[in-house]
Copies of this chain bind each other. A is one copy, B any other.
Protein backbone atom coordinates (compact mmCIF):
# COMPACT_ATOMS: atom_id res chain seq x y z
CA UNK A 1 0.00 0.00 0.00
CA UNK A 2 1.20 3.47 -0.83
CA UNK A 3 1.80 6.13 1.78
CA UNK A 4 -1.59 7.73 1.90
CA UNK A 5 -0.26 11.03 3.09
CA UNK A 6 1.69 11.60 -0.10
CA UNK A 7 -0.97 11.09 -2.74
CA UNK A 8 0.42 9.70 -5.97
CA UNK A 9 0.95 12.49 -8.46
CA UNK A 10 -0.68 12.21 -11.86
CA UNK A 11 2.80 11.51 -13.27
CA UNK A 12 2.43 7.98 -11.95
CA UNK A 13 0.45 7.31 -15.11
CA UNK A 14 3.86 6.94 -16.67
CA UNK A 15 4.47 3.84 -14.57
CA UNK A 16 1.34 2.20 -15.88
CA UNK A 17 2.04 -1.46 -16.67
CA UNK A 18 1.57 -2.71 -20.18
CA UNK A 19 -2.06 -3.39 -20.98
CA UNK A 20 -3.10 -0.99 -18.26
CA UNK A 21 -5.32 0.98 -20.61
CA UNK A 22 -7.96 -1.09 -22.31
CA UNK A 23 -8.40 -0.07 -25.93
CA UNK A 24 -11.70 -1.94 -26.08
CA UNK A 25 -13.32 0.74 -23.98
CA UNK A 26 -12.81 3.57 -26.42
CA UNK A 27 -15.62 5.08 -28.41
CA UNK A 28 -16.55 8.23 -30.19
CA UNK A 29 -20.22 8.51 -29.59
CA UNK A 30 -20.32 11.68 -27.59
CA UNK A 31 -17.93 14.03 -29.30
CA UNK A 32 -19.28 13.29 -32.74
CA UNK A 33 -20.99 16.43 -33.96
CA UNK A 34 -23.21 16.81 -36.98
CA UNK A 35 -21.11 19.23 -38.95
CA UNK A 36 -19.97 17.19 -41.92
CA UNK A 37 -16.50 18.71 -42.15
CA UNK A 38 -15.87 18.52 -38.46
CA UNK A 39 -17.14 14.97 -38.32
CA UNK A 40 -14.35 13.74 -40.56
CA UNK A 41 -11.84 15.53 -38.44
CA UNK A 42 -13.21 14.13 -35.22
CA UNK A 43 -13.16 10.63 -36.61
CA UNK A 44 -9.51 10.99 -37.42
CA UNK A 45 -8.70 12.30 -33.98
CA UNK A 46 -10.53 9.46 -32.30
CA UNK A 47 -8.86 6.92 -34.53
CA UNK A 48 -5.56 8.45 -33.49
CA UNK A 49 -6.58 8.31 -29.85
CA UNK A 50 -7.38 4.63 -30.13
CA UNK A 51 -4.09 3.89 -31.80
CA UNK A 52 -2.26 5.80 -29.11
CA UNK A 53 -4.04 4.05 -26.30
CA UNK A 54 -3.21 0.61 -27.61
CA UNK A 55 0.41 1.13 -26.58
CA UNK A 56 0.51 3.24 -23.43
CA UNK A 57 3.76 1.77 -22.18
CA UNK A 58 5.61 2.75 -25.32
CA UNK A 59 4.22 6.25 -25.07
CA UNK A 60 5.39 6.54 -21.51
CA UNK A 61 8.89 5.33 -22.35
CA UNK A 62 9.07 7.76 -25.21
CA UNK A 63 8.68 10.66 -22.84
CA UNK A 64 7.19 12.83 -25.54
CA UNK A 65 3.61 11.65 -25.39
CA UNK A 66 1.26 14.54 -25.88
CA UNK A 67 -1.27 12.84 -23.62
CA UNK A 68 1.00 11.96 -20.71
CA UNK A 69 3.38 14.89 -20.65
CA UNK A 70 1.23 17.86 -21.45
CA UNK A 71 -1.17 18.51 -18.65
CA UNK A 72 -0.40 22.16 -18.04
CA UNK A 73 -3.58 22.57 -16.03
CA UNK A 74 -2.07 20.50 -13.23
CA UNK A 75 0.69 23.00 -12.59
CA UNK A 76 -0.81 26.36 -13.37
CA UNK A 77 -2.74 29.08 -11.65
CA UNK A 78 -6.21 28.94 -13.15
CA UNK A 79 -8.80 31.61 -13.86
CA UNK A 80 -10.46 33.57 -11.06
CA UNK A 81 -14.05 33.28 -9.87
CA UNK A 82 -16.59 35.25 -11.85
CA UNK A 83 -14.21 35.49 -14.81
CA UNK A 84 -17.48 34.65 -16.51
CA UNK A 85 -20.21 36.13 -14.27
CA UNK A 86 -22.58 34.13 -16.43
CA UNK A 87 -20.77 30.88 -17.27
CA UNK A 88 -20.35 29.30 -20.69
CA UNK A 89 -19.58 25.79 -21.94
CA UNK A 90 -15.97 24.68 -22.39
CA UNK A 91 -14.26 25.73 -25.61
CA UNK A 92 -14.00 22.01 -26.37
CA UNK A 93 -17.81 21.82 -26.63
CA UNK A 94 -18.15 24.50 -29.30
CA UNK A 95 -19.50 21.95 -31.76
CA UNK A 96 -22.55 21.25 -29.58
CA UNK A 97 -24.93 23.93 -30.86
CA UNK A 98 -28.34 24.49 -32.39
CA UNK A 99 -28.27 24.15 -36.18
CA UNK A 100 -30.45 25.08 -39.15
CA UNK A 101 -31.19 22.42 -41.71
CA UNK A 102 -29.93 23.83 -45.02
CA UNK A 103 -32.76 24.53 -47.45
CA UNK A 104 -35.59 23.97 -44.99
CA UNK A 105 -36.78 27.60 -44.98
CA UNK A 106 -36.18 30.56 -47.26
CA UNK A 107 -35.49 33.01 -44.43
CA UNK A 108 -33.84 32.47 -41.08
CA UNK A 109 -36.65 34.39 -39.36
CA UNK A 110 -39.20 31.72 -40.29
CA UNK A 111 -36.95 28.73 -39.78
CA UNK A 112 -36.00 26.09 -37.26
CA UNK A 113 -32.81 25.55 -35.25
CA UNK A 114 -32.54 21.99 -33.96
CA UNK A 115 -31.35 20.80 -30.55
CA UNK A 116 -28.24 18.54 -30.59
CA UNK A 117 -29.96 15.62 -28.85
CA UNK A 118 -27.04 13.31 -29.67
CA UNK A 119 -24.95 15.17 -27.07
CA UNK A 120 -27.56 15.64 -24.35
CA UNK A 121 -27.85 13.81 -21.02
CA UNK A 122 -30.71 13.33 -18.58
CA UNK A 123 -34.08 14.95 -19.09
CA UNK A 124 -33.28 18.67 -19.08
CA UNK A 125 -32.33 20.61 -22.19
CA UNK A 126 -29.95 23.46 -21.40
CA UNK A 127 -31.84 26.66 -22.25
CA UNK A 128 -29.03 27.71 -24.59
CA UNK A 129 -29.72 24.61 -26.68
CA UNK A 130 -33.54 24.70 -26.60
CA UNK A 131 -34.75 24.35 -30.19
CA UNK A 132 -35.96 27.46 -31.97
CA UNK A 133 -38.95 27.86 -34.26
CA UNK A 134 -39.89 31.39 -35.18
CA UNK A 135 -42.57 32.77 -37.47
CA UNK A 136 -41.11 36.26 -37.79
CA UNK A 137 -37.84 36.03 -35.90
CA UNK A 138 -37.15 36.36 -32.20
CA UNK A 139 -37.22 39.63 -30.29
CA UNK A 140 -35.84 40.78 -26.94
CA UNK A 141 -38.77 42.50 -25.21
CA UNK A 142 -38.28 45.01 -22.39
CA UNK A 143 -40.14 43.33 -19.52
CA UNK A 144 -41.01 46.68 -17.94
CA UNK A 145 -42.99 47.56 -21.06
CA UNK A 146 -44.58 44.20 -21.67
CA UNK A 147 -48.26 43.77 -20.80
CA UNK A 148 -50.50 40.72 -20.72
CA UNK A 149 -54.25 41.20 -21.21
CA UNK A 150 -57.22 38.91 -20.65
CA UNK A 151 -60.35 40.00 -22.48
CA UNK A 152 -63.32 38.66 -24.47
CA UNK A 153 -66.05 36.79 -22.61
CA UNK A 154 -64.98 37.94 -19.15
CA UNK A 155 -66.68 40.08 -16.49
CA UNK A 156 -63.62 42.16 -15.77
CA UNK A 157 -60.89 42.42 -18.41
CA UNK A 158 -57.42 42.56 -16.89
CA UNK A 159 -54.02 43.85 -17.87
CA UNK A 160 -51.01 42.53 -15.99
CA UNK A 161 -47.43 43.75 -15.78
CA UNK A 162 -44.61 41.26 -15.36
CA UNK A 163 -44.29 42.39 -11.75
CA UNK A 164 -47.99 41.67 -11.22
CA UNK A 165 -47.54 38.14 -12.51
CA UNK A 166 -44.36 37.42 -10.60
CA UNK A 167 -45.85 38.06 -7.17
CA UNK A 168 -48.77 35.70 -7.82
CA UNK A 169 -49.04 32.07 -6.76
CA UNK A 170 -46.37 30.22 -8.67
CA UNK A 171 -45.90 26.60 -9.72
CA UNK A 172 -42.86 24.82 -11.18
CA UNK A 173 -43.20 21.76 -13.40
CA UNK A 174 -41.16 19.61 -15.76
CA UNK A 175 -42.62 19.53 -19.29
CA UNK A 176 -41.51 18.91 -22.84
CA UNK A 177 -42.10 21.20 -25.78
CA UNK A 178 -42.14 19.45 -29.15
CA UNK A 179 -42.91 21.16 -32.44
CA UNK A 180 -45.86 19.51 -34.21
CA UNK A 181 -43.57 19.20 -37.23
CA UNK A 182 -40.80 17.37 -35.37
CA UNK A 183 -39.67 14.36 -37.47
CA UNK A 184 -41.63 15.87 -40.39
CA UNK A 185 -38.91 15.13 -42.91
CA UNK A 186 -39.24 11.40 -42.19
CA UNK A 187 -42.85 10.86 -43.34
CA UNK A 188 -41.81 9.61 -46.78
CA UNK A 189 -38.53 7.92 -45.97
CA UNK A 190 -35.35 8.35 -43.94
CA UNK A 191 -34.33 11.80 -45.09
CA UNK A 192 -31.84 13.38 -42.72
CA UNK A 193 -28.67 11.92 -41.20
CA UNK A 194 -28.77 12.68 -37.48
CA UNK A 195 -31.08 12.74 -34.47
CA UNK A 196 -30.50 16.48 -34.26
CA UNK A 197 -32.50 16.80 -37.50
CA UNK A 198 -34.91 13.88 -37.10
CA UNK A 199 -36.02 14.73 -33.54
CA UNK A 200 -34.29 17.98 -32.55
CA UNK A 201 -37.44 20.14 -32.37
CA UNK A 202 -37.82 18.78 -28.87
CA UNK A 203 -36.74 20.12 -25.51
CA UNK A 204 -37.45 19.45 -21.86
CA UNK A 205 -37.40 22.10 -19.13
CA UNK A 206 -38.56 22.96 -15.66
CA UNK A 207 -41.07 25.77 -16.20
CA UNK A 208 -42.28 28.25 -13.59
CA UNK A 209 -45.34 30.44 -13.86
CA UNK A 210 -48.92 31.14 -12.88
CA UNK A 211 -51.77 28.70 -13.58
CA UNK A 212 -53.92 30.19 -16.36
CA UNK A 213 -57.01 28.98 -14.49
CA UNK A 214 -56.22 31.45 -11.69
CA UNK A 215 -55.93 34.37 -14.10
CA UNK A 216 -59.16 33.40 -15.87
CA UNK A 217 -60.90 33.26 -12.49
CA UNK A 218 -59.59 36.74 -11.65
CA UNK A 219 -61.05 38.05 -14.90
CA UNK A 220 -64.37 36.27 -14.26
CA UNK A 221 -64.54 34.26 -17.48
CA UNK A 222 -67.98 33.31 -18.84
CA UNK A 223 -68.49 29.81 -17.51
CA UNK A 224 -71.44 29.15 -19.85
CA UNK A 225 -70.26 30.48 -23.20
CA UNK A 226 -66.52 30.66 -22.72
CA UNK A 227 -65.62 27.41 -24.44
CA UNK A 228 -62.28 28.42 -25.94
CA UNK A 229 -59.42 30.78 -25.39
CA UNK A 230 -57.16 32.38 -27.96
CA UNK A 231 -53.53 33.04 -27.03
CA UNK A 232 -51.70 35.75 -28.96
CA UNK A 233 -48.03 36.74 -29.19
CA UNK A 234 -46.52 40.23 -29.12
CA UNK A 235 -43.86 39.60 -31.75
CA UNK A 236 -44.24 40.64 -35.37
CA UNK A 237 -45.91 37.39 -36.37
CA UNK A 238 -48.79 38.03 -33.97
CA UNK A 239 -48.96 34.25 -33.73
CA UNK A 240 -52.25 33.05 -32.26
CA UNK A 241 -53.89 29.74 -31.39
CA UNK A 242 -57.17 28.40 -30.07
CA UNK A 243 -57.07 26.29 -26.90
CA UNK A 244 -60.08 24.43 -25.51
CA UNK A 245 -61.31 25.88 -22.21
CA UNK A 246 -61.19 22.47 -20.53
CA UNK A 247 -57.50 22.27 -21.30
CA UNK A 248 -56.92 25.93 -20.40
CA UNK A 249 -58.36 25.27 -16.94
CA UNK A 250 -56.44 22.02 -16.51
CA UNK A 251 -52.64 22.35 -16.63
CA UNK A 252 -51.92 25.38 -18.82
CA UNK A 253 -49.43 27.85 -17.35
CA UNK A 254 -48.49 31.45 -18.05
CA UNK A 255 -44.76 31.02 -17.82
CA UNK A 256 -41.86 33.37 -17.11
CA UNK A 257 -39.29 30.94 -15.72
CA UNK A 258 -37.40 28.16 -17.47
CA UNK A 259 -34.69 25.97 -15.95
CA UNK A 260 -34.33 28.22 -12.93
CA UNK A 261 -34.08 31.61 -14.64
CA UNK A 262 -36.17 33.86 -16.86
CA UNK A 263 -37.18 32.52 -20.27
CA UNK A 264 -34.65 33.14 -23.01
CA UNK A 265 -35.58 35.61 -25.79
CA UNK A 266 -35.72 32.81 -28.37
CA UNK A 267 -38.28 31.03 -26.16
CA UNK A 268 -40.60 33.99 -25.61
CA UNK A 269 -39.02 36.23 -22.94
CA UNK A 270 -40.52 37.62 -20.81
CA UNK A 271 -43.76 35.58 -21.01
CA UNK A 272 -45.19 32.63 -22.89
CA UNK A 273 -48.12 30.34 -22.49
CA UNK A 274 -47.28 26.68 -21.92
CA UNK A 275 -49.82 24.11 -23.08
CA UNK A 276 -48.38 20.80 -21.81
CA UNK A 277 -48.57 17.81 -24.13
CA UNK A 278 -49.69 19.83 -27.13
CA UNK A 279 -47.69 20.72 -30.24
CA UNK A 280 -45.27 23.56 -29.55
CA UNK A 281 -47.01 26.16 -31.72
CA UNK A 282 -49.80 26.41 -29.12
CA UNK A 283 -47.33 27.50 -26.45
CA UNK A 284 -47.43 31.05 -27.81
CA UNK A 285 -44.26 33.03 -27.12
CA UNK A 286 -44.13 36.73 -26.15
CA UNK A 287 -47.66 36.23 -24.79
CA UNK A 288 -49.58 39.52 -24.79
CA UNK A 289 -53.19 38.42 -24.74
CA UNK A 290 -55.65 35.67 -23.94
CA UNK A 291 -59.18 36.17 -25.24
CA UNK A 292 -62.12 34.07 -24.07
CA UNK A 293 -64.63 33.13 -26.80
CA UNK A 294 -67.44 30.76 -27.70
CA UNK A 295 -65.99 29.35 -30.92
CA UNK A 296 -62.64 28.43 -32.37
CA UNK A 297 -60.67 31.24 -34.04
CA UNK A 298 -59.45 29.31 -37.07
CA UNK A 299 -56.25 31.36 -36.99
CA UNK A 300 -53.79 31.22 -39.87
CA UNK A 301 -51.67 28.58 -38.18
CA UNK A 302 -54.59 26.33 -37.37
CA UNK A 303 -56.14 26.42 -40.87
CA UNK A 304 -53.48 26.87 -43.56
CA UNK A 305 -50.76 25.48 -41.33
CA UNK A 306 -50.62 22.88 -38.57
CA UNK A 307 -53.41 20.77 -40.11
CA UNK A 308 -52.81 17.15 -41.09
CA UNK A 309 -53.05 16.09 -44.75
CA UNK A 310 -54.72 12.68 -44.67
CA UNK A 311 -54.39 9.84 -47.22
CA UNK A 312 -57.81 10.72 -48.71
CA UNK A 313 -56.65 14.26 -49.46
CA UNK A 314 -58.71 15.88 -46.67
CA UNK A 315 -57.13 18.06 -43.97
CA UNK A 316 -57.52 17.11 -40.32
CA UNK A 317 -57.75 20.28 -38.20
CA UNK A 318 -57.28 21.00 -34.49
CA UNK A 319 -55.25 17.88 -33.80
CA UNK A 320 -52.83 19.07 -31.27
CA UNK A 321 -51.81 16.29 -28.87
CA UNK A 322 -48.27 14.97 -29.22
CA UNK A 323 -48.79 11.21 -28.90
CA UNK A 324 -46.30 9.00 -27.10
CA UNK A 325 -42.91 8.92 -28.82
CA UNK A 326 -39.35 7.91 -28.07
CA UNK A 327 -35.97 7.98 -29.75
CA UNK A 328 -32.51 6.60 -29.11
CA UNK A 329 -30.18 9.58 -28.95
CA UNK A 330 -26.95 7.61 -28.56
CA UNK A 331 -25.77 5.73 -30.55
CA UNK A 332 -27.53 7.59 -33.34
CA UNK A 333 -27.06 8.64 -36.94
CA UNK A 334 -23.70 10.18 -37.78
CA UNK A 335 -21.94 8.66 -34.78
CA UNK A 336 -19.45 5.83 -35.03
CA UNK A 337 -18.67 2.93 -32.70
CA UNK A 338 -14.95 2.30 -32.83
CA UNK A 339 -14.81 -1.06 -31.08
CA UNK A 340 -16.95 -4.02 -30.06
CA UNK A 341 -18.12 -4.38 -26.51
CA UNK A 342 -20.39 -2.70 -24.03
CA UNK A 343 -22.42 0.39 -24.93
CA UNK A 344 -24.99 2.30 -22.94
CA UNK A 345 -27.89 2.83 -25.34
CA UNK A 346 -29.58 6.03 -24.19
CA UNK A 347 -32.64 7.93 -25.31
CA UNK A 348 -35.71 9.97 -24.52
CA UNK A 349 -39.39 9.08 -24.22
CA UNK A 350 -42.42 11.33 -23.71
CA UNK A 351 -46.19 11.45 -24.10
CA UNK A 352 -48.62 14.32 -24.53
CA UNK A 353 -51.21 12.31 -22.65
CA UNK A 354 -49.40 11.82 -19.35
CA UNK A 355 -46.57 9.74 -17.95
CA UNK A 356 -44.33 7.28 -19.72
CA UNK A 357 -45.01 3.84 -18.27
CA UNK A 358 -42.23 1.87 -19.97
CA UNK A 359 -39.70 1.89 -22.78
CA UNK A 360 -38.56 -1.18 -24.70
CA UNK A 361 -35.43 -1.39 -26.81
CA UNK A 362 -34.71 -3.65 -29.77
CA UNK A 363 -31.32 -4.21 -31.38
CA UNK A 364 -32.71 -6.38 -34.18
CA UNK A 365 -35.13 -4.01 -35.91
CA UNK A 366 -38.14 -4.78 -33.74
CA UNK A 367 -38.10 -8.60 -33.76
CA UNK A 368 -37.28 -8.87 -30.07
CA UNK A 369 -37.62 -6.30 -27.28
CA UNK A 370 -36.24 -5.84 -23.78
CA UNK A 371 -37.28 -3.25 -21.22
CA UNK A 372 -35.02 -0.25 -20.70
CA UNK A 373 -34.12 1.35 -17.38
CA UNK A 374 -35.88 4.66 -16.65
CA UNK A 375 -33.72 7.38 -15.06
CA UNK A 376 -35.17 9.45 -12.24
CA UNK A 377 -38.72 10.52 -11.51
CA UNK A 378 -41.29 10.18 -14.29
CA UNK A 379 -43.21 13.44 -14.76
CA UNK A 380 -46.42 13.86 -16.72
CA UNK A 381 -45.96 15.28 -20.24
CA UNK A 382 -42.23 15.51 -19.71
CA UNK A 383 -39.05 14.07 -21.19
CA UNK A 384 -38.01 10.79 -19.61
CA UNK A 385 -34.46 9.46 -20.02
CA UNK A 386 -33.97 5.74 -20.55
CA UNK A 387 -30.79 3.66 -20.61
CA UNK A 388 -30.19 0.15 -21.88
CA UNK A 389 -27.20 -2.18 -21.60
CA UNK A 390 -25.89 -3.48 -24.92
CA UNK A 391 -22.83 -5.49 -25.86
CA UNK A 392 -22.07 -4.93 -29.53
CA UNK A 393 -20.68 -8.04 -31.24
CA UNK A 394 -19.38 -6.07 -34.21
CA UNK A 395 -22.14 -7.22 -36.54
CA UNK A 396 -24.81 -5.03 -38.19
CA UNK A 397 -27.65 -4.10 -35.85
CA UNK A 398 -30.93 -2.19 -36.05
CA UNK A 399 -31.58 -0.11 -32.91
CA UNK A 400 -35.13 0.92 -32.00
CA UNK A 401 -36.96 2.20 -28.93
CA UNK A 402 -40.69 1.92 -28.27
CA UNK A 403 -42.57 3.76 -25.54
CA UNK A 404 -45.83 2.82 -23.84
CA UNK A 405 -47.60 5.61 -21.95
CA UNK A 406 -49.90 5.48 -18.94
CA UNK A 407 -52.99 5.34 -21.18
CA UNK A 408 -51.66 2.04 -22.61
CA UNK A 409 -50.88 3.62 -25.99
CA UNK A 410 -47.89 2.01 -27.73
CA UNK A 411 -45.66 3.96 -30.14
CA UNK A 412 -46.27 2.61 -33.69
CA UNK A 413 -43.89 1.35 -36.38
CA UNK A 414 -43.95 3.27 -39.69
CA UNK A 415 -46.21 0.83 -41.60
CA UNK A 416 -48.96 1.11 -38.96
CA UNK A 417 -48.72 4.89 -38.78
CA UNK A 418 -48.73 5.29 -42.57
CA UNK A 419 -51.78 3.07 -42.90
CA UNK A 420 -53.75 5.72 -41.04
CA UNK A 421 -51.88 8.89 -41.94
CA UNK A 422 -50.32 8.30 -45.37
CA UNK A 423 -46.87 9.55 -46.36
CA UNK A 424 -47.48 13.19 -47.26
CA UNK A 425 -48.10 14.62 -43.81
CA UNK A 426 -46.02 17.14 -41.96
CA UNK A 427 -47.24 16.99 -38.37
CA UNK A 428 -47.48 14.44 -35.59
CA UNK A 429 -45.05 11.81 -36.80
CA UNK A 430 -44.42 9.68 -33.71
CA UNK A 431 -43.23 6.50 -35.44
CA UNK A 432 -40.47 4.30 -34.06
CA UNK A 433 -37.03 5.49 -35.20
CA UNK A 434 -34.46 2.99 -36.48
CA UNK A 435 -30.68 3.47 -36.41
CA UNK A 436 -28.61 0.96 -38.38
CA UNK A 437 -25.18 0.09 -37.00
CA UNK A 438 -22.87 -1.08 -39.79
CA UNK A 439 -19.95 -3.45 -39.34
CA UNK A 440 -17.70 -0.43 -39.71
CA UNK A 441 -19.35 0.96 -36.57
CA UNK A 442 -20.99 3.77 -38.48
CA UNK A 443 -24.59 4.54 -37.53
CA UNK A 444 -27.16 5.68 -40.08
CA UNK A 445 -30.82 6.62 -40.31
CA UNK A 446 -32.98 3.93 -41.94
CA UNK A 447 -36.60 2.82 -42.00
CA UNK A 448 -37.48 -0.84 -41.78
CA UNK A 449 -40.67 -2.90 -42.03
Contacts and interface: CB of A to CB of B under 8 A. Distances in A.
Contacts of A160: 25
A173 interface: yes
A234 B20 contact: no
Contact of A96 (B7, B49, B261): B261
Given A90-B269, A174-B376, A265-B90, A7 B291 contact: yes
Q: How many copies, total? A: 2
A140 B87 contact: no
A232 B7 CA distance: 8
Interface in A23-65: 25-31, 45-46, 49, 53, 56
Interface in A58-96: 66-67, 70-71, 73-93, 96
A112 interface: yes
A410 to B, nearest CB: 25
Contacts of A108: 80-83
Given A124-B124, A159-B16, A26 B164 contact: yes
A387 interface: yes
B82 A113 contact: yes
Interface residues of A, number: 154
A357 interface: no
Contacts of A100: 81-82
A90 to B, nearest CB: 5
B67 A143 contact: no
A81 B291 CA distance: 29
A126 interface: yes
B171 A270 contact: no
Contact of A260 (B8, B12, B120, B270): B120
Interface in A164-196: 164, 166-174
A169 B344 contact: yes
A448 to B, nearest CB: 25
Interface in A134-154: 134, 136-145, 147, 149, 151-153
Nearest to A169: B344
A86 B81 contact: no
A409 interface: no
Nearest to A24: B164
Nearest to A172: B122
A1 B152 contact: yes
Contacts of A436: none
